[in-house]
Amino acid sequence: MKKEIIGLVLILFSSLIHAQQDTQFTQYMYNTININPAYAGSRGVMSVFALHRTQWVGLDGAPVTNSASINTPISNSNLGIGVSFINDRIGPADENNLALDLSYTIPVSESYKLSFGLKASANLLNVDFTKLNQYDKNDYDFETNIDNKFSPNIGVGFYLHSDKTYVGLSAPNLLETKHFDKNASSGATSHIAKENITGYLIAGHVFDLSTEVKFKPAVLTKYVSGAPLQVDLSGNFLIHEKLVLGVAYRWSAAVSALAGFQVSDSWFIGYAYDYETTQLSHYNSGSHEIFLRYEFLNKFDRIISPRFF
């Protein structure tokens, strides 16, 4: 069994370094700024967000992700600004991404606003190949570790939203770069990892089922060249403006249970559990994701209702 697990991790890592994708989140609807820069400042107050995700628990070398962000509207302007940080660890790889987001919002009707966003990011990758079992000692791809390999990127996003509806289209990484090419200096064309353009389409709407219960279905569609189309479907109920309960389905990948609680006007905490529907379910006990959000409200501010996104 140990050899099977080690082999599986090597396969997963091989897939990662040859066709790198953006970090995956189940509760993306609360963490939208990571995939769409136009979200910056859209909640109308300064919002601080932190998330921890442990994926495929029990599988050696499985992904562990930590994310933090802060975004706010700029007073007396149509601008919003945000900063986000993601640390992603999988097997021998440790990757850090720091991004700056800027949005500009214009009203398009009495109910809807349209935001345009730009993202500038910096990426650092470390890979310690000594953590792998190397069966072929002549494989020179694993001869030298990757230490703080830097690569910049830019992204763009659009976000149409009201108090009850949102639609977003974004590409957080527009540059297709073979930025972990250890042989670049020698003019070779081989590369350790390649980052392709990833496109996101998100949408959601809040339905008032009663004065105390609201229901929000949402969808995320993710497309990246060289990988299957990913579709996430979710449905969340907001009860008494305090408790959020929901389920989600990642097409041909996982089913999830979601919960959140508005502890106070400023504090909101959320949790999600993913159960794999693929063959990986035989090697792990699922994935856990927890987040905490704090919003700086003054005495004139109230929780945006029914904006639980």
CATH superfamily of 2-296: monomeric porin ompg (2.40.160.40)
Spans of all domains in the chain: 2-296
pTM, to two decimals = 0.84
Q: What is the pLDDT of residues 210-241, one digit of tens each?
A: 999 999 999 999 998 777 889 999 999 999 99
* One-letter-per-residue 3-state SS of the chain: CHHHHHHHHHHHHHHHHHCECCCCCCCHHHCHHHCCHHHCCCCCCEEEEEEEEECCCCCCCCCEEEEEEEEEECCCCCEEEEEEEEEEEECCEEEEEEEEEEEEEEECCCCCEEEEEEEEEEEEEEECHHHCCCCCCCCHHHCCCEEEEEEEEEEEEEEEECCCEEEEEEECCCCCECCCCCCHHHCCCCCCCCECCEEEEEEEECEECCCCEEEEEEEEEEEECCCCCEEEEEEEEEECCCEEEEEEEECCCEEEEEEEEECCCCEEEEEEEEEECCHHHHCCCCEEEEEEEEEECCCCCCCCCCCCC
Q: What is the pLDDT of residues 267-304, one digit of tens each?
A: 999 999 999 999 888 889 999 999 999 999 876 555 44
Q: What is the pLDDT of residues 79-100, one digit of tens each?
A: 999 999 999 999 888 999 999 9
